[in-house]
Structure 1
Amino acid sequence: MNYLTESYVDGLALNGAAMKNGKDLARKNSFPKLRKSPDGELLFGECKGSGKEPYRCSADFVKPDSPVFRCSCPSRQFPCKHILGLLYAYTAGQAFDTEEIPPDIAEKREKAEKREEKKKEAAASAGSDTEAGKSKRKTNKNALVKKIAAQLEGLDLLEKLVHQLVQSGLGSVDAKTLKMLAEQSKQLGNYYIPGVQAAFKQLLLQLEAQDNKETIYTLAVEQLTLLHTLIKKGREHLIQRMADPDMPMDTETTLEEWLGHAWQLAELREHDRVQKETKLLQLSFRSYTDEARGEYVDEGVWMELQSGHIHITRTYRPFRAAKFIREDDSVFDVIQPTELFVYPGELNARIRWEEASFRPAQPDDYVSVQSRARSSYPEAVKQVKNQIKNPLSDKQPVLLLAFDEIQQSEEEDLFILLDPQGKSLVLADLPGEQERTTPLLPLLPKEALKGQTMLVKFGHDMKLNRLAAQPLSIITPTEVIRLQY
């Protein structure tokens, strides 16, 4: 099982604590019995626990894309630390004795195979897999109309709150006003518009900030523009859908998501937003807190090696349930999803997959990334500006740029990125980013600062009052140097 690497096991862990606990079990030799089946597809063993009886755990890779994990412990986290420890022991090269598959696991395998056969028979009776996959699901029109009516009512409430804020003037907003608006904004949670509600909460958080007033008001005006557009376009879209419930959903922009629609994988498949035989390499990763949504967010930036598209993965972990949701982490292998689902979006569409195989990244992969980089900064900047003109679009898109060299301006203490034609682009740490990355550039090897490729995040620099780009990573022919972590 060449795909079973330490980074693969890291990706299975729900969070950093589970990862650490699993590694500690393997390091402390907590497994008196380590076994594997003759074909190597099943790993199983016993792990010392707090009681007299050890915990019996196993990892079944009879289907590598969808392994099955089992453990006798009572942990609500899954995979638990015992399963992770078993896998870490294997990746660390600890000795696994060969033994026949235990009868209970063999019986469970047999039952699983029968269930799979029944599913195939059911699919066959409903028609071919292709036609079944493309068949449109029936819409409950009455329920949809009721939901839309509630959403329209919620947009009316939002409009009143925004008008109330604007009429009183941003300069007159005090702590008492913000507290009152925050209480009123909670009502938006009753109208199925969580994205809109989060946008209004973000405005209130901006006005609460103790930063420079000019910066606060600039951000607040941008957020008010977003809210105004959401009210206008959202209302138009919902009214059209109420009049015609069979009207197709908007699969080109993020409007549906703003209005609270959670895309199901079956819907994405129905709208042909699924790709096969793709290969992905992660170029950057970060975790941050979204106070407006009340969630932790794990965000990865990936390149689709065949097309060169830059995609984003996001795992949302609500504060209250964070410990029960798997925490994403950096990935250094090339991932090959069985199916790649692409959400509606623009430059950096969100992606997701259910099953995937892993392989170590090779020099050819890094060279492939470099070959996809944009070599003309004016064209890249034009594309970015065209996107951010739309209030509903992502204001900080990510692009891959080829660069000739990085220069530092002593007068302004700025870093300048030069493209192969000599055109320049200012590098700066963007507002809202938790980690500063530009100060790390002088610490890199000289060979990494010339003739390479840089992944950058564009945004409006308030101090410079111009478009700037924050470096996220540098890609060389042999590695990805990550500046954000």
Structure 2
Amino acid sequence: MPTITEAYVDSLAPNAGAIKNGRDLIKKNSFPVLNESPDATLLFGECNGSGKEPYRCSVDFVNEASPVFRCSCPSRQFPCKHALGLLYARAMGSPFTPAEVPQDIADKRDKAEKREEKKKDAAESEGNAPAAKRKVNKSALVKKFASQLEGLRLLEKLVLQLVQSGLGSVDKKTVQMIEEQAKQLGNHFIPGVQAKLRAFVHTMQTEGDREAIYSQAMEQLLLMHSLVKKGVSYLEKRMENPELPMETGTSLEEQLGHAWQLAELREYGRAQSGAELLQLSFLSYADAARGEYVDAGWWVDLSDGTVRSTRHLRPFRAARALKEEDTVRAVVRTEELFVYPGEVNARVRWETATQREAGEADYSKVKAAAAASYADVVKQVKNIIKNPLADKTPVMLVAFRSIDKTADGLCLRDAQGKLLPVTDLKTNGSATSALIALLDEKDLRDQAALVMFSHRLDDNRLSVQLMSIVTDSRFIRLLY
């Protein structure tokens, strides 16, 4: 059984409401019976509800990486508040009485074990057989590529028209026309491109400083133009030879709208075992152009210091039915880590994982991985943002000698005295600079920081937003 902390239970809850309801059960002393199996793999108990009979709930850790939640309540939420309450009871120190595993749970364990044995036998049989190459339906692929190319060329014409006529000529009627074009792109299997055109429409409909809006809109037009050029070249090659491997060196496939399957990532060698990740920052926001909530996390791989990212998407229409991701404070040990194609801060995903508490050895690894020279980091970031399709706000781990106040505001200073201006990015809507004044002086000397870079068009300079600070004994989340 893992170490059950309140933060661990929070991470299992589907949303903030479930966290509150689960905790409220403890405040109301709703658990008259709390039990634990002799081998400490099962927590089970009874929770008072609205009916005469209490709800019987349990959390089974026979597979620590994938706990099984059971409850007799009719809730469609998973895990329900009763199972969460059971875990909160453990995390908050409530006494659990040793008791034998109930027969119904023992029977369910037996059935689950037999299913796993069958899967294992099937996997071993497949492993002994030569790997079968995936069949490619060439005619279907060629038709798809032709439709995608048609959509990209429609977008290219639209972008050129907008550039030639100028953004100042875009009125409500033009915006409506562009919206119709975006709907048409939905018929061409390029949802990523369609989303970028919708983002442009959203920008042009925004009220405020027109100069700033036009600057953002021009960047979006440049992005779409580059995506068209690279997309057309790539798809034409695949039309000539449908058996060519998919592009995995960049995020081009994903930007066109391809949803990578885990089997594909395995096939292309983008799965690794036994990774340990520590989340240093987290942000939830609404993407109006795509019509979805985004739960974004930034993690450091403790084996080599690489900064990874996670992105959990919840469409507006289905947000209530989907689990809302939250901050994770423990070290996550993944059984298998899938790494999506990308240029920087590659997105990762895992199916099963365990957690352990982070300690000083982990913080030391993070600090050791931080880039010491700002000159080298700035050069690397400039090379990244030169690519029109790359993320314009890369996240990096940097060391700092001090955080100082200057005439221009806060700055990070490295060991050579080089400075990185600190700012608050408008794109994420969360300010962190003001929090620096609340920290101890020791936290502002000889530490490491996770920062998000941005390119300031007004003076052509790079600046950073502080996301977290890592010391020898803890990490301090500023963006969480």
TM-score under structure 1 length normalisation:
0.95
Matches of residues 228-247 of structure 1 in structure 2 within 5 Å? 228-247=225-244
Partner of 2:169: 172
Q: For structure 1, which segment, 332-341 or 171-180, has the greater mean C-alpha deviation from structure 2 after superposition?
A: 171-180
For residues 166 and 343 of structure 2, the distance between their equivalents in structure 1, rounded to whole angstroms, comes to 34
**Cα distance in 2 between the residues matched to 1:249 and 1:174:** 40
Distance 2:192 2:8 in 1: 33
Shift of 1:286: 0.8
Please, which runs of 5 or more residues in structure 1 have no aligned partner? none
Q: Which runs of 4+ in 1 moved over 6 A?
A: none
Higher mean alpha-carbon deviation, 176-185 vs 433-442, is at 176-185
Supply the distance in 2 between the matched residues of 1:136 and 1:253 (Cα, whole angstroms).
24
> 1:112 maps to what in 2?
112
Matched, 1:367 2:364: yes
CA 1:103–1:320 in structure 2 vs 1: closer, same or farther (change >3 Å)?
Answer: same
| Residue-pair matches, total | 480
**1:251-266 equivalence runs, <5 A:** 251-266=248-263
Letter in 1 for 2:224: L
1:51-86 residue CA offsets vs partner (Å, 9 max, x unmatched): 233222211111111111112222222111111111
Structure 1 partner of 2:429: 434
Unaligned 5+ segments in structure 2 are none
Q: Is the 8 Å Cα contact of residues 2 and 354 (structure 2) preserved in structure 1?
A: no
Separation of aligned partners in 1, 2:385 and 2:458: 19
Tell which deviates more after alignment, 35-44 or 244-253: 35-44
Q: Report the CA distance between 1:432 and its aligned residue.
A: 0.8
User: TM-score when scaled to structure 2?
Assistant: 0.96
How far is the alpha carbon of 1:355 from its aligned partner?
0.9
1:193 corresponds to which residue? Answer: 190
User: Residue 21 of structure 2 corresponds to which residue in structure 1?
Assistant: 21
How much does 1:344 deviate?
0.6
Q: Which has the larger displacement, 164-173 or 138-147? A: 138-147
Q: Which residue of 2 aligns with 1:295?
A: 292
- How far the C-alpha of 1:363 sits from its partner, in A, is 0.8
| Partner Cα separation in structure 2 for residue 113 and residue 400 of structure 1 | 43
Q: How many Å separate the matches in 2 of 1:103 and 1:172? A: 73
The answer on whether the counterparts of 2:314 and 2:322 sit within 8 Å (CA) in structure 1 is: yes
Structure 1 residue 164: Cα displacement: 3.5
> Which residue is 1:34 aligned to?
34
Does the alignment pair 1:282 with 2:275? no
Aligned equivalents of 2:268 and 2:241: distance in 1? 19
Q: Specify the code of the residue in structure 2 equivalent to 1:53.
A: E
Q: After alignment, is 349-358 or 425-434 more displaced?
A: 425-434
What is the match of residue 392 of structure 1?
389
Give the Cα separation in 2 of the matches to 1:232 and 1:20: 50
Q: CA deviation at 1:136?
A: 4.0
Partner of 2:81: 81
Counterparts of 1:63 and 1:288, CA distance in 2: 33
Give the conservation status (yes or no) of the 8 Å contact 2:7–2:329: yes
Identify which of 148, 153, 163 aligns with 1:151.
Answer: 148
Counterpart of 2:434 in structure 1: which amino acid? Answer: P
| Mapped partners of 2:374, 2:27: distance in 1 | 49
Question: 2-side partners of 1:87 and 1:128: how far apart?
Answer: 42
Quote how far apart the aligned CAs of 1:142 are.
Answer: 3.3
SS in 2 for 1:346: coil
Q: State the partner residue of 2:414.
A: 419
**Counterpart-to-counterpart distance in 1, 2:410 and 2:90:** 45
Give 1:37's aligned amino acid: S
**TM-superposition CA deviations, 1:204-227 (whole Å, max 9, x none):** 122222232222222111111110
Q: Which amino acid aligns with 1:194?
A: P
Q: Give me the whole-angstrom Cα distance separating, in 2, the residues matched to 1:148 and 1:263.
A: 17
- What SS class does the counterpart of residue 139 from structure 1 fall into? coil
What is the percentage of aligned positions where both structures have the same residue?
58
Separation in 1, partners of 2:74, 2:134: 39
Q: Is the 8 A contact 1:428 1:461 kept in 2?
A: no
